[in-house]
Amino acid sequence: METEKKRVALISVGAAIFLTGFKIVVGMATGSIGILSEALHSALDLVAAVITYFSVRISDKPANRQHNYGHGKIENFSALVETLLLLITCVWIVYEATHRLITGNTHIELSIWSYIVVISSIIIDYTRSRALSKVAKKYNSQALEADALHFSTDIWSSGVVLLGLICANFGFFFADSIAALLVAAIVIGVSYRLGKKAIDVLLDKAPSEYIDLVKSTLCEFPEVKYFHSLKIRTAGADTFINVNVHFDPEMKLNQVHEICDTIEKEIGTRIARSEVYIHAEPQDPKHIQTEKPDNY
């Protein structure tokens, strides 16, 4: 697992290095703000790809005495850093494109290389995005998911720049600056989604889909008389679940233990890389009245 994650992350670093260098050279040669904005976007993607590479190396380290829940949140922190880098990109793009539109300095030098770099970028971004997304889903890696989203965003932004170049070819040079502003709008939208997801995990927001799944699983066991105090948190690819479950007070301890093991295994098959902790209690009507009814 760790090898595959590191391999796909390292390939993304190589792709980002190539695209950044290619776009800078062509952007400087043509003076295209659209291509230069893409170059800056790719440069920050390179930084993000490097951060992702190191985060996936650290995130799968086992829990230790100092980090009882493992190192998974480094992936979520990495995703948040990538969000901030994307927002920095937007500030520069919006400033430069607006300045050119206001001053009227929108002329760019078109060449065949302008089209080659943008089309090459679309092809590479599509390939990298699919590879990263596949591994991210396989291992529930938010860092790789963020990296995949970066590359998929580049596909759309490169498409916008390509449209701007085509318009400029017919004398509509201002279209290049407008294309750059559209790139910024796309990046802002992606940044919001990435940042919100990363912050939710860092603040231990319980994932609603997992809450419903755990509740439905518990309700499938007739031995479970009641449950409460359900708490779920995620860290990277790992999910930690705690719940208090009530059983018939006449049940023997070994029976309760076996049922708890069965419940934990069942939840584990439905939620990948989850650790389930069940606190068993005897069913007591007086106790129930003082607890918040999580299951109903």
How do residues 6-44 score in pLDDT, each as one tens digit? 788 888 888 888 888 888 888 888 777 667 777 777 777
- The answer to whether residues 251 and 266 touch, using CB atoms and an 8 Å cutoff, is no
Query: Which residue type sits at 12?
Result: S
| Mean pLDDT, range 269-286, rounded to an integer | 85
Closest CA to 82 of 144, 5, 164: 144
User: In the predicted model, is pLDDT for residue 245 greater than 70?
Assistant: yes
User: Which of 202, 232, 261 is the last residue in one of the domains?
Assistant: 202
Q: Is residue 283 part of a domain?
A: yes
Start-end of H helices in 60-111: 73-103
Q: Could you tell me if 54 and 172 lie in one domain?
A: yes
User: Which of 165, 187, 202 is the last residue in one of the domains?
Assistant: 202
How far is the C-alpha of 226 from the C-alpha of 219, rounded, in Å? 9
What pLDDT is stored for residue 257 in this prediction? 93
Q: Could you tell me if 93 and 22 lie in one domain?
A: yes
* 201-225: pLDDT as tens digits: 888 888 888 999 999 999 999 999 9
User: Which residues are CB-contacts of 27 (< 8 A; sequence separation ≥ 6)?
Assistant: 35, 36, 38, 39
Q: Could you tell me if 29 and 153 lie in one domain?
A: yes
- The answer to whether residues 260 and 274 touch, using CB atoms and an 8 Å cutoff, is no
Q: Is residue 296 part of a domain?
A: no
Q: Could you tell me if 168 and 248 lie in one domain?
A: no
Structure tokens at 52: 């992702």
User: In the predicted model, is pLDDT for residue 146 greater than 80?
Assistant: no
User: Which of 168, 202, 236 is the last residue in one of the domains?
Assistant: 202
Q: Could you tell me if 251 and 167 lie in one domain?
A: no
Q: Could you tell me if 138 and 270 lie in one domain?
A: no
Average pLDDT value for the chain: 81
Q: Could you tell me if 100 and 165 lie in one domain?
A: yes
Q: Is residue 295 part of a domain?
A: no
Supply the range of the domain harboring residue 43. 2-202
The number of folded domains in the chain is 2
Q: Could you tell me if 198 and 217 lie in one domain?
A: no
What pLDDT is stored for residue 161 in this prediction? 73
Sign of the C-alpha dihedral computed for residues 11, 132, 191 and 51 taken in this order: negative
Q: Is 251 exposed, middle or buried (0-12, 13-18, 19+ CB in 10 A)?
A: middle
For residue 149, what is the domain's CATH number?
1.20.1510.10
What pLDDT is stored for residue 241 in this prediction? 93
Q: Is residue 294 part of a domain?
A: no
How far is the C-alpha of 176 from the C-alpha of 170, rounded, in Å? 12
* Greatest mean pLDDT among 61-65, 88-92, 239-243, 271-275: 239-243
What pLDDT is stored for residue 286 in this prediction? 62
Scan for tokens 């709008």, then name that residue. 185
Q: Could you tell me if 58 and 141 lie in one domain?
A: yes
* 249-277: pLDDT as tens digits: 889 999 999 999 999 999 999 988 888 99
Q: Could you tell me if 105 and 12 lie in one domain?
A: yes
Q: Could you tell me if 125 and 254 lie in one domain?
A: no
What pLDDT is stored for residue 296 in this prediction? 40
Q: Is residue 13 part of a domain?
A: yes
